[in-house]
Amino acid sequence: MKEAGNLTMSAKELDRLEIISRVIERRLTQRKAAERLGLSVRQVERLCRAFRTDGATGLVSRKRGRPSNRKLAAVVRDRALDLAQGRYADFGPTLACEKLTEQHGFDLSRETLRRWMIDAGLWVPRSQRDRRAHQPRHRRSCLGELVQIDGCDHAWFEDRGPKSTLLVYVDDATGRLMELRFVPSESAFDYFTSTRAYLEQHGKPVAFYSDKPQAKGRVERAHLTLQDRLVKELRLRSISTPEAGNAFLPLFRADYNRRFGREPLSPP
C-alpha cells in the first residue's frame, strides 16, 4: 500500500489514479485508458466522474474492508453443514434443504446443498449406489381409478414410543396419500375404519388393491419415503404416541401431496 496525499492506496489504485488523471488532462483517450485498465469505456467514464467529484478517494474500491462474497459463502456453507451433520444427520439433501429454509432461514437451492454434502462426505449420490433393476408400470389415468392399500410395520416413533403399523392408501394416478392411520397392527377392523374414512372424504374409488405385489409398487415406494420423511418429522415435533401421530398425519399428508403429488393424465 502507498499513500497519495493522506489517502492510502494500493499499487493497482495508484495506477488507476495515474491513468484517469491523464484522461482528465486530455493526454489519454478513454478508449486507450479502458484498454490499459481492462475495463469498458463506460466504466472509465464513471471513474472520471468519480475523480472529478471526490478526487483520488473516488477511485478507491468501495469493497475495501468488506468481507468478500466468497468468504460470506464459506460461512453460510459451514453453518449449513454443521446443522446438516448435527441436527439433520440422517436427512437427505432435499429434506435437509427444506428444514434449513423453513426452520433456519437459509436461502439455498437443493442442488447447492447436495453438492456441499457430497463434498463433505455427508451424502452419497445415487449414481454411486448399487442399482436395483425393476420393471416400471404405467400409472392409471384418473384419480380414484386405483387406490393401493398396504400396512407398514416400522419403528415410526424410534425409541420414544411403541412400534406401530401405518396403514397407507395411495392413489395410483397421482401418487397422493389419500389416507394414513397409525394402528397397533394390521387387522380387518382397522382397515374397515380407515376405508370408511377414505370413502367419507374422497368417495368410492373404482378399485382398491391390497394383496397383489405386482400392483403395489407405488405404495411400496411410498413406504420408503414415509420411513424417511415421516419418522424425521415426528422426531422434530417430539411426537411419541400413535394418538398424537394420528392428529399430525393430516398436516403431513397435505404437505407430502403438495410436494410429491402429480396431476392425473385424465381430469376427473
Position 62 confidence tier, pLDDT thresholds 50, 70, 90: low
The percent of residues above 90 in pLDDT, for the chain, comes to 49
Q: What is the pLDDT of residues 13-24, one digit of tens each?
A: 778 888 988 999
The percent of residues above 70 in pLDDT, for the chain, comes to 85
CATH class of the domain defined by 147-260: alpha beta
Q: What is the dihedral of CA 179, 180, 185, 187, to 10 degrees?
A: -10
| b/e map 210-241, b = 16+ CB within 10 Å | eeeeeebebbeebbeebeebbbbbbeeeebbe
- Give the whole-angstrom CA distance, residue 80 versus residue 66: 22
Residue ranges per structural domain of the chain: 2-59, 69-128, 147-260
Query: CB of 197 within 8 A of CB of 179?
Result: yes
pTM: 0.63
Give the per-residue pLDDT at 192: 94
Q: How far apart are the first and last CA of the chain?
A: 73
Give the mean model confidence (pLDDT) for residues 151-177.
93
Give the mean model confidence (pLDDT) for residues 157-184.
94
Q: What is the pLDDT of residues 70-122, one digit of tens each?
A: 665 788 889 999 999 888 988 999 999 999 999 998 888 889 999 999 988 88
Q: Is residue 94 classed exposed, middle or buried when 0-12, 13-18 and 19+ CB atoms within 10 A define those classes?
A: middle
Position 218 confidence tier, pLDDT thresholds 50, 70, 90: low
The amino acid occupying position 188 is A
Give the per-residue pLDDT at 4: 47
User: Which residue, 95, 162, 88, 169, is CA-closest to 122?
Assistant: 88
Give the per-residue pLDDT at 7: 55
Q: What is the dihedral of CA 217, 250, 257, 100, to 10 degrees?
A: -110
Residue 188 vs residue 140, higher pLDDT: 188
Please determine, for residue 68, whether its predicted confidence score (pLDDT) is greater than 80. Answer: no
- Give the whole-angstrom CA distance, residue 256 versus residue 225: 10
- Least confident segment among 1-5, 61-65, 246-250: 1-5
Q: Is residue 197 classed exposed, middle or buried when 0-12, 13-18 and 19+ CB atoms within 10 A define those classes?
A: middle
Q: What is the pLDDT of residues 183-206, one digit of tens each?
A: 999 999 999 999 999 999 999 999
Give the per-residue pLDDT at 230: 96
Give the per-residue pLDDT at 212: 52
Please determine, for residue 67, whether its predicted confidence score (pLDDT) is greater than 80. Answer: no
Please determine, for residue 134, whether its predicted confidence score (pLDDT) is greater than 70. Answer: no
What mean pLDDT, rounded, does the chain reach? 85
Query: CB of 20 within 8 A of CB of 59?
Result: yes
Query: CB of 166 within 8 A of CB of 182?
Result: yes
Residue 264 vs residue 136, higher pLDDT: 264
